[in-house]
Amino acid sequence: MQPSPNKQRHKTVLELQMINEQFNKPNLIAPQPWDRRQISRDIPPQPKNKPRPSVLLQELQKADARDFMEDGRETKFYYEKYRTVELCKFMLILMAQGMNILSVYFIFSTFTNETDGSQREVFYYLNEILTLIMLIRIIPMLQTILIFSRFAGARPNRVCSFYGCQGDQLFRIKCMMKKYPMMIFCISYLISLLFFAFAIRICERPLVRIQDEFWQDQVKEAEANGEQFFFGSQDFNNYTVALWMVLITLPTVGYGDRFPRTILGRSITTIMAIVAAFLFSILVNALSNSLELTNNQKKAYTIKRKVNAKKSVNEKRLIIQLTKQNYRQKNINKNQSTNQNIFQ
């Protein structure tokens, strides 16, 4: 025998009351199905046109729900970068330390371009050539700086993908130049100064080892005069001389008192000139941006110009009025004097 509908309804209401008492929410008691006013009063009104969140907001909300997956991807990203950088460092250090025991001449030879148009053959040690190649180690160092920047990681790459761009190293460099222009210029200038000075010193070092009749005659002449002779009047074996040459060449000054003589040294100087043009373009851009007015400053400047213009117009108007009054007063005085002469 099935229970009547009234008993079922009564049983359902009792169960709802027990649940509401358990959770201390007496307002959740279900109304009777025949009381439509009670139903409409208990149900909160729903907005007709509910605003939908943007696509970007939806994607970011989904991304927050996948944080645990993102942590794994980010860990893999950094692990691969660190592994590559450490492997490059290990190979380069092993190569440098392994070649330090060699003291033989390398087959590579080049020529010096003298001021009189003549050329002289010079030789390089194998260590010098490898040390020059080892200067490329600066690239992994710069990549490490980019990896630790705030513009690297899985989340910046995902945001870039939303707008159809790639969060690669060039993007990170642009962001850092936009955020810290003066700091990027100072660090780049210091690194370029030390880097190119060391490279020029290596390239010009064979000049010190030249022992031919020309240099011997020059040495004897300098010793006879009680002077210290520097080979080729350059002595790039001294690191400070190379620093001075790079310091005056980077800003495109170039006094000409120090200059490279070997072909390899002049090639390095050409690369240095290109890098200098890039560095000082950063400086000019940073200075122009720092001297540019902000939006609030532009508004204040415009209002100040208007006030000054209005003040200038008022001053000119006052001068014109005073001039007119002075002219009228002169005419009045002139007419009065004329009338007095007539009556006399």
Residue with the two structure tokens 């100087």: 269
Using CA of residue 90, residue 96, residue 102, residue 106, what is the dihedral sign? Answer: positive
- pLDDT grade for 27, boundaries at 50, 70 and 90: very low
Task: Give the residue with greater pLDDT, 186 vs 234.
Answer: 186
Does residue 194 register a pLDDT over 80? yes
Residue pair 207/234 in contact by the 8 Å Cβ criterion: yes
pTM of the model: 0.54
Q: Where is pLDDT greater, at 143 or 232?
A: 143
In a domain, 194, yes or no: no
Q: Is residue 178 part of a domain?
A: no
* Spatial separation of the C-alpha atoms in residues 30 and 13, rounded to whole Å: 7
25 part of a folded domain: yes
**Mean pLDDT over residues 109-134, rounded?**
68
Read off the tokens for 249.
């060449």
Q: Which of 214-228, 253-267, 305-319 has the lowest mean pLDDT?
A: 214-228
Asked whether residue 287 carries a pLDDT value surpassing 70, the answer given is: yes
Segment 22-40 shows an average pLDDT of 47
306 in a structural domain = yes
Give yes or no for residue 29 having a pLDDT over 50.
Answer: no
- What pLDDT, on a 0 to 100 scale, did the predictor assign at position 16? 54
Q: Structural domain of residue 36, as residue ranges?
A: 9-41
Tokens of 329: 């007063």
Question: Using CA atoms, how far apart are residues 281 and 286, in angstroms rounded to an integer?
Answer: 9
- Taking only the tens place, the pLDDT of each residue in 57-72 is 566 556 555 555 555 5
Q: How far apart are the first and last CA of the chain?
A: 145
Which pLDDT band, with edges at 50, 70 and 90, does 266 fall under? confident
Looking at residue 28, what is its pLDDT?
A: 45
Position 3 pLDDT exceeds 60: no
pLDDT band at 104 (very low <50, low <70, confident <90, very high): very low
As a whole-number percent, the residues of the chain with pLDDT over 70 amount to 56
128-165 pLDDT, tens digit each: 888 888 888 788 777 777 777 777 777 777 777 788 77
Tally the domains of the chain.
2
Q: What is the model's pLDDT at position 103?
A: 43
Residue 31 in any domain: the answer is: yes
The reply to whether 55 falls in a domain is no
pLDDT averaged over the chain?
70
> Considering only 164-173, 186-195, 221-230, which range has the smallest mean pLDDT?
221-230
Q: Are 188 and 282 in contact (CB under 8 A)?
A: yes
Percentage of residues in the chain having pLDDT higher than 90: 1
321 is a domain residue: yes
Residue 70 located in a structural domain: no
